[in-house]
Amino acid sequence: MRVSAKKLQNFKRDIWKYYSKNKRDFPWRRTKDPYLIVVSEVMLQQTQVLRVVQKFTEFTKRFPTFKSLSLASNSEVLGLWQGMGYNRRALYLKALSKTVENELNGDLPDSPDELVKLPAIGHATAGSIVAFAYNEPTVFVETNIRRVFLHFFFQDKKQVRDKDIIPLVKETVDKDNPREWYWALMDYGTMLVKTIPNPNRKSRHYIKQTPFIGSNREVRGAVIRLILKERSITKKDILTNLPYHSDRLNIALEGLVKEGFLKKDARSYQIQ
């Protein structure tokens, strides 16, 4: 897609103008510590910002470094993660921290190609980490960035692919200050979703999130919370204490054991 230089210039002017008056302040925007940036980016995956703000502070106070997180027990990590959802992200963060400490001498890579080899890190997250931690002009697309470019450049299009957006992201990224440029895009994208019909519906990658209530995620989360509270509990007591059908609980327990969340002995379940 070809866009005139003037239109791109006006686009950048509008984004910076909005940001100068409306920029948001978050704890992870006050640091360049790669560890803190990693934690914030993983937490922000599929979780509302306001929920992350409180949990980020609690989590990083208890685990302030890759080393401290790598040495923590799964029970500690999952216990502190409660309220965030998608518990596997907590264990991915711990696994990532172990890799950084044990295989990378405690130093987080500054290359997206290297970062994607780590647990919990996809291409968009790798790009954002490098931009925010190292202020490098990487090119990536996430939900809010996608929303902004769809709104400005693809208003009459449908089923837009990210590979159609990427060239525009690359052409407009601020090479001197990519860190704040991406913050500006994300802030503008957050404003858009509150004021107009969501432009992301034009994306081929758009997936409407399924309701949490009644989902398998809800059942799994309830199981983990109960076992964190009791430390060790029999299946009979799990079935007694949780208001879900036994078939659903059995499926959840089997999955959690298989995925390494839980361990099972002859009589009971515990956090792995």
Residues with a catalytic annotation lie at: 41
**Mutual orientation of helices 5-22 and 178-195 as an angle, nearest 10°?**
80
Does residue 32 sit in helix, strand or coil? coil
Angle at 111 between CA 109 and CA 112, to 5 degrees: 115
Q: Take residue 216 and report the two structure tokens written for it.
A: 């398998």
Half-sphere exposure of 67 (CA within 13 A, CB side): 3
Residues 6+ apart with CB under 8 A from 249: 219, 223, 238, 239, 242
**Mutual orientation of helices 5-22 and 143-153 as an angle, nearest 10°?**
130
Provide the b/e sequence for 47-86 (b: ≥16 CB within 10 Å).
Answer: beeeebeebbeebbeebebbbebbebebebbbbbbeebbb
Strands 262-264 and 269-271: antiparallel
DSSP classification of residue 110: S
Where helices occur in the chain by DSSP H, the ranges are 5-22, 34-43, 49-62, 66-70, 74-81, 88-103, 112-115, 123-134, 143-153, 162-172, 178-195, 216-230, 235-241, 246-258
